[in-house]
Every structure is written in C-alpha cells, then in structure tokens.
Chain A
C-alpha cells in the first residue's frame, strides 16, 4: 500500500541514510530475494552472523541461514572476529536517515555492533518521519517504549584524530535493505 506520502517518506529515508554514509537498497521481501541481496552484500566475506527478527516472516531468516558463510551457533570468540552481522531493524527514521535496532533477541546486539559490516533488514512500513515519533504513546512509539532501542545513523565515525574517519569501534559499513 505504497501511497504517495509513503513513497516520499521512503525516498527521504533513502536520501538521508545515503547522506549519512549508509548503503541503501530497496528490494522485495520474498525470502529468496532477501537471501540473494544479503549474499551480494556480504560477497567475499568468510564469516557471517544472523540474528532472528521480530516482525519479518521467519522464513526470511531460515533462508538467510542457508548462506554457506553463516556461523550456525557462534561462540563469543567467533562473534569477536566475524566479518558481518545481519539483523532486522525495528524502525527507520526518514528525516535523519536512521534505523533503530531493538535489543533483546539473541545475537541482535552483537551482530549490529561487533562486526565491520552491519546489514540491516528494514520493513518499509516501519519507516516514520522524525525521531521523536519513537517516543509517542501510540503506534510504533508504544512498541518502542517497551524495548531497549538504539538509533543507528550511518557507520561508526570519529573526527577525534582530525579528519572524519568512518569505522571506529562499531561497524565500518552499514548496509540497509529496505524490504517493500
């Protein structure tokens, strides 16, 4: 149900997230299509971690686990050295180009933080216009109030050493797949 407004919201999200140095792709949500997109995004990497989702259909995640590089049940030592983490995004914020990651399910926090690449799956209907909507008492805000959430805007970055450097302690690259 891509209304005219919804389309411009998604366009704004894509533009802002791209400005924030995330890579953004819009794809369909058939499990096979998502799997192919993730495989492309992680091509050449040797170890991947997949965290379960809350909102997307579970066959997407079971299909992702069939990518050969995915570590089925990673130990903490493997989490510390894996190349990429794949998680669902709780929400997207168009005006700031942010995604929100809700903590809780196993591996979600680690997979969105410890690896050099974070691939986030964002259901298109969960994009809102502005950050504060996540704090409203209704709609997506009411859900967010119950969770530990992190607003993620682009990859980790610092200017402490002089020039802007992307990739500090957190992921060096953020790849957002908007699922339509």
Chain B
C-alpha cells in the first residue's frame, strides 16, 4: 500500500533550499519538488515542449534561423565593449538615461536613486529574472517603496515569497489548487478564488489600480539594439506594455549580454525566442525606443509629468564570464527556456530543485556560477548530459559541455578523500580528477571494475547479489542497493566474437570495425554478437577492436583530464582501422555520442575528430544506409514472420540517439519491415548512465522513469491492441525498463538478427 502523501509542512520551503552550495540543500529540494511540485511542473513543461516541437517542425528554415541567431550573438559578445558605447550614445541621443552597473548592489542603488528622486511610493514591475538576480525588490521595499509585481506568475511568487522555478513561467510549479489555497490564506476578500478564471480576475483587479497610480514602471528587456537603443519586450498579459506606457518614469534593466548590434537583427529573435518557449508568438512583443512620445497617464488629481527613461545594464560577473573560454557561451543565452522544457529531469523536479537562487535548468549552472560563485552551480549535478537540449537551443549552446566543465571545476575545488584517491590510483585516474567524490571516481572508472568483474565472474556476480556487500558499496561509493547491477557475462564480447565463424564470401564489400564499448562488452555482449551476425549476413567484413574505455563515464562525472586521456587512446586505436577503409560501429548510444559529439572538446586535433565523427555509426543506422545504398528493401533482408516477439513493438530511443538523429532511421526500418511500432515521446528514461544508480538520485530517477512506464502501459491498453515487445538501444534504458516494468528488452539489432532472411 502506498504511503499517504505528506502534508506540505513536511517539506522545506523553496527559499530555504534555494542556495545549493551545500549538497544537502539539493537533496532536500528534490524531496520537496517530488512531494508537492512535480505534477504541475511536468504538465506545464511538457506542454511547452510539445508546442515548440510542433511549430519548429513546421518552420522550413528553423536550422538556418538558429545559425543566424548564433552568429549574431557571437559577434555581439565578441564586440560587447564597443556595442555598449554605441548603445549609450543612441540612448542619450533620444533623451534617455544610460547606466552601466558593475555589481548587483550598484544597480540597486541607481534604481533606488531614480525612484527616490521622483518621490516614488509605488513601483509597478514587469517580470524580470535579472531583477531577481540583484534582489531589487528587497532594496526598494527596504526603502519603504511599494513594489507591485504585475506579471501574474511573479505576483504569485511575491505573495508566496518564493524564487522562480522557471525563467519564462516562474510560477509553473503551482497548480490552480495550490494558488487558490495560497490566496485564500493571504487575502481576505469576498471574491471567489477557486478557478483559474476567478484567480486571474482577482489579481487583475488588484493590479489595475496599481498600474493607474504607479510612479515608476519597471521592466526587464529581452534584447537591446545598440544602434538605435530599441528595447524588445516579450509578454502575454499586457502588464509590460502598461508598465512601460502608463507611469511617467520607465526603468528597464538587463544584463549586458542582452545587447546586440542592430535593430534589424531583432527579427531573427522575434521569430526564434517565443517559438523556442511555447511555439508561437506571445500576445504582445514590443519594440520600443523610449522615452515614448505618448504623454504619461495621469488620473484626475495626479500631476502630469514629463517622461523619463533609464536603461540600466548590469555586469555583475558577466564581463568576467565573457573571458571564460568555456562558460562564455552561456552569454549567448536568450532565456527562452527550451533547455528546461526538453529536459526529463527538469520536467520532473523543476527549477526549485534543478536551479539556484535565481537561475535554473541546464543553462542555470553557468549563470549561477557567473553571477555568483562556482559552488552555487552545484545543482547542475542534475544535468545527466543526455544532450536533449543541444538541438533545441536556438543559439546552439552546448549546455551539457558547460555542465561537465562546471562539474570538473567543482571536483577540483573539493578536498578529496582517501577512498577517492585510492580508487583513483588503482583505476588510473588522472591526478586532479582524484579529488572528486569517491562515488564519482567509482562511476568514472566503471570499465575497470567491469574488467575485473568479468575476470572474477563467479565471485563478482556473487558480490553484486549479496546484500551486505551491496550495503557496503552503497555506503562507500553510493550505489543504491535498490538497483540491480547486471551480472557479468561468461564471455565478454571481445572473447565471444573470436568464436564466431568468419565470413566465407570474399570480394569487394563494406568493411567495418565494431568498437566493443564497455557496456556492451561486459554487460550485454549478445548485442555485439547480433550486430556481427547481421552485418556479416549482409556481406559486411566485420572485425572487433580492443575493448578500451572511450571516456563517456569519466566525462559524465566531470573528470575531463581522464576523459581526454580515454579519448586520445581510443582515437589512436581506431584511426588505423579508418585508414584500412573501415567504418566504425558503436552499439551503446552514449558511447556513440562521444565519437559524434563530445570528442569535439576532448581531442586536441579537430581533423581527427572530424574523421571519427563522420565515420562512426549506430548499427541499425548503418544497416538502413546499406539497405538504401544497395537498393535492397528491408523486407528482402528481414522477415517479419520469424519475429520471436510478434509484430507489435514499443520502441524507446535513447536520448543521445535522438540528438544524433539515429532514432528516426531505426524506427523507420522497423516499420518498413512491417512491425507495428509505438514509440515513446519521453526525452530520457531517467537512468541516464550512472545517474539512476546513485543513492541520492534513485527516487528522482524512478520518478522520471514513471513517465516512460506510463507510455508503455498506455500503448498496451486493451483498446490500443494489448501487449508489445519492449525495444531499446541504450544499456541504461534497458536497465530502467527492468527496474520499472520487470520485463525483457531487446536491442533492435537483436530483433533484426532473429528475423534475418539470408
């Protein structure tokens, strides 16, 4: 029987766990988010996510727009000091005021000064996450000025005293029921406060009075054009239009990174920014060159004043971030939230857990580190490197890489431990990388334990099933006892492959080398055997390389020096095969992604990376290409009737496969053969390599997985035709399916091997 849900009071308040310098705050925040926020977060982020995918797919030049946006931002950040000077001239030429604040305190002091010079009693405020960064409300309220947050989400947060959980929809962790309970507790009113309509009407009524009487209107800015001083403001409610139009004084605050060279470049962002959030243009997108010509609003009895405009730009760490060779990329961010909405972990816990005091999500770590301290980025441990954000970022920021680098820096800044040093030394971890936690050192060197596990198979398989040994492992290196560790096989792939009959036919044919990644070699060698069998049947000359770690495990733990070493050794071992005219086949998608994406950062030689990137393939992707090239349709090669699991499949593609574009060819090939294929739409299974094995993340990993399990159940409902065989390419996904559904899982290549016609 499930335990009854704990009352809200049983959890930490979001503010209490906002700063995650101390990892225990992160764990308490996860518990809180899973307990009370998860349902609303999942509903909202997944809606945004679906809408973005739908509209992006309908936009023929989506990729070209992203290239254009990226180029504009690169140029803007590269020339930022010059742009700031140009912008200052443009703003002053129109009679506006320009202030470049070096710190948060400096910005607050200036804004307070402007308010006080007008004797302001009431400031009406549009949503500005940057104002959260500098704690502006605290400063203004401390000086006795009333601040009315007019964005309804910010209004909720102001009433609840919480930090944003998302940078576009900052209160998306609130359900209607929770808002209703909050308002009933905080306001004494006879108005009904139950439905979304009623709550909106109540807030609108209160805020309308504030707009009409405000002395100062405050807004953020989504972009600022240096040549004309044009400010872009994106919103849906109309509160930003009111804040910038009605009061006599308008203050707009933005980080310096929001400046782009020219107004004419804003059209690209007009098309990309709202699309990347929720698919469509929001109700109102203003392009203003304040001060406006319209007279400010003045009800009877109030003075009619002259308009005044202040553009306040803040540095607060950004200019230093600009000099950072890796984190510099974070300044290209246009804060669209795509990286949050397409992140399976974020969809499950939101920004109160996967975030700091101001910034959240995959990009949030770099922002918290850049505007605060490195330790503030500790929450970015929740980035599993699944890479789903990579193709969805409108300015093509390599967010997983930023988080791996942050993790590396955090590892290096920690004290280390004797156990971590010992584990590191025996498994040949590079010097500074040994300062990571024992858990990270353990997972980074899984290949080493797997190799010895396979060599001492009988003993090792006993250990991983022996309770006391597992409890010891949990307490020493944090491997959760609730997770099954897959048993070590009798013959790792490299050994088993030697016993396979070689290909009899000779002649000119495709040649490949199969790279036995550690997960396939020591965990699921039957997938490798199936690959060899199918490829040889199709006339491909297959050899198997030595089993060496390709570096994924080390990279995912932020041990970059070790990952670089692994990448170099792997390239050294495989390049001679390329010289022989062999393409490379990699079965585990997270290992494949190293060759196709991550080696960009790990190999010193870009030419070697390019060779590996363009000649490494997923096995089924490769077969689909062979089939297309030879003009032999898949139905001639494979026979559906031989399927040992019937014709109904549920195919879950691995997160990295989706990013690399190998998910679609796999699904298409299976359909072409005649399978009835249902697919998952989840971004990631929740296991994500080591993530789900870690004791502290087990509950979260299973909560992420529940989404996938639910999709399987829906696809197998009686009215959907009943049971389906589970198919997944990822080792982690396979383990997650075992844990959640307790059922066998086939790799598509195993299925293909079983139905070969030849």
Task: Identify the A interface with B (CB < 8 A).
Answer: 20, 75-77, 79-80, 96, 98, 103-104, 106, 108-110, 113-114, 130-137, 141, 145, 148-165, 167-171
Q: Whose C-beta in chain B lies nearest to the C-beta of A155?
A: B283
- Inter-chain contact B284/A131, CB cutoff 8 Å: no
Q: Is the CB of A161 within 8 A of B179?
A: yes
Specify which chain B residues have a CB less than 8 angstroms from the CB of A104 in the assembled complex.
293-294
14 more A-B contacts (CB under 8 A) besides A77-B300, A164-B196, A169-B204? A76-B299, A110-B297, A132-B268, A148-B287, A151-B285, A156-B236, A158-B236, A160-B153, A161-B176, A162-B196, A163-B196, A168-B238, A169-B208, A170-B283
0 or 1 for each of B137-175: is its CB under 8 Å from A? (1 = yes): 000000000000011110110000000000001011011
Interface stretch among B80-88, B259-267, B733-741? B259-267
Cβ B156 vs Cβ A154 within 8 A:
no
Looking at A148, A152, A169, which has the most chain B CB atoms within 10 Å of its CB?
A169
23 contacts between A and B (CB under 8 A): A80-B299, A108-B294, A109-B292, A113-B245, A131-B281, A132-B268, A135-B266, A135-B270, A136-B267, A141-B267, A145-B263, A150-B285, A152-B284, A153-B282, A153-B283, A156-B237, A158-B200, A162-B175, A163-B195, A168-B238, A168-B239, A169-B150, A171-B238
Q: Is there an interface contact between B242 and A113, defined as CB atoms closer than 8 Å? A: yes
Q: Which residues of A have CB within 8 Å of B266? A: 135
The listed residue with most B CB atoms (<10 A of its CB), out of A79, A145, A157, A165, is A165
- The residues of B that contact A20 with a CB separation of less than 8 Å are 280
Residues in B neighbouring A171, C-beta threshold 8 A: 238
Contact A151 B196 (CB under 8 A): no
A164: chain B residues at CB < 8 Å are: 196
Residue pair A148, B288 in contact (C-beta under 8 Å): yes
* B171 pairs with A160, CB closer than 8 A: yes
**Bound: A167/B195 CA distance, A:** 15
* Minimum CB distance partner of A135 in chain B: B267
B484 CB within 8 Å of chain A: no
Beta-carbon nearest neighbor of A170 in chain B? B238
Q: Which of B238, B270, B289 is within 8 Å of A169, CB to CB?
A: B238
Q: How far does the Cβ of B307 sit from chain A's closest Cβ, in whole Å? A: 12
The number of inter-chain residue pairs (CB within 8 angstroms) is 160
Main secondary structure of the interface of A (DSSP, over half): loop
Interface residues of B in 176-224 (CB under 8 A from A): 176, 179, 195-197, 199-200, 203-204, 207-208, 211-212
Roughly how many angstroms separate A108 CA and B292 CA in the complex, as a whole number? Answer: 12
Report chain B residues within 8 Å CB of A108: 294
- Across the interface, A154 reaches (CB within 8 A) one of B200, B208, B283, namely B283
Total chain B interface residues with beta-carbon distance under 8 A: 58
Pairwise interchain contact A165-B299, C-beta atoms closer than 8 A: no
Bound form: Cα–Cα A126–B367 in Å: 42
Is B284 a contact of A150 with CB atoms below 8 Å?
A: yes
B286 within 8 A of A: yes
Interface pair A159/B169, CB less than 8 Å apart: yes
**Is there a chain A Cβ closer than 8 Å to B271's Cβ?**
yes
Knowing A161-B196, A161-B199, A168-B152, the reply to whether A137 touches B264 (Cβ < 8 A) is yes
**Whole-angstrom distance between the alpha carbons of A136 and B264 in the complex?**
6
Is B241's beta carbon under 8 Å from chain A?
Answer: yes
Q: Would B270 and A132 count as touching, CB distance under 8 A?
A: yes
Instruction: Check if B298 is an interface residue, CB within 8 A of chain A.
Output: yes
- Give the chain A neighbours of B292 by CB distance below 8 A: 103, 109, 148
Whether A162 and B238, one on each chain, are in contact in the complex, defined by CB atoms closer than 8 angstroms, is: no
A160 touches B152 (CB 8 A): yes
Q: Which residues of chain B in 242-283 are interfacial with respect to chain A, using CB atoms and an 8 Å cutoff?
A: 242, 245, 263-268, 270-271, 280-283
A residues near B280, Cβ cutoff 8 Å: 20, 96, 153
B176 touches A151 (CB 8 A): no
Cβ 8 A contact of B152, one of A134, A148, A153, A158: A158
Do A168 and B264 touch across chains, with their CB atoms under 8 A apart?
no
A7 to B197, CA, bound (A): 38
Q: Which of A130, A155, A163, A169 contacts B176 (CB 8 A)?
A: A163
Given A136-B264, A148-B289, A150-B287, are A157 and B270 also a contact pair (CB < 8 Å)? no
Chain B hits for A109, CB < 8 A:
241, 245, 292, 294
Residues of chain A contacted by B300 (CB below 8 angstroms): 75-77
CB distance from A111 to the nearest CB of B (A): 11
* B679 at interface by CB-CB < 8 Å: no
CA of A162 to CA of B174, assembled, Å? 8
Q: How far is the CA of A110 from the CA of B297 in the complex (A)?
A: 9
Q: Is the CB of B196 within 8 A of A113?
A: no
Are B196 and A169 in contact, CB atoms less than 8 angstroms apart?
Answer: no
> Hey, which chain A residues are within 8 Å of B153, CB to CB?
158, 160
Measured CB to CB, the closest approach of chain B to A83, in angstroms, equals 15
Determine if B263 and A135 form an interchain contact, defined as CB atoms under 8 angstroms apart.
yes
Tell me if B44 counts as interface (CB < 8 A to partner A).
yes
Find out whether the CB atom of B264 lies under 8 angstroms from the CB atom of A113. Answer: no
Q: In the complex, are the beta carbons of A150 and B286 less than 8 A apart? A: yes
A157-B264 contact in complex given A77-B300, A113-B242, A163-B196, C-beta closer than 8 Å: no
Cα distance A45–B724 in the bound complex, in angstroms: 59
Taking CB as reference atom, which chain A residue is nearest B152?
A160
Q: Is the CB of A157 within 8 A of B298?
A: no
Q: Are A165 and B271 in contact (CB under 8 A)?
A: no
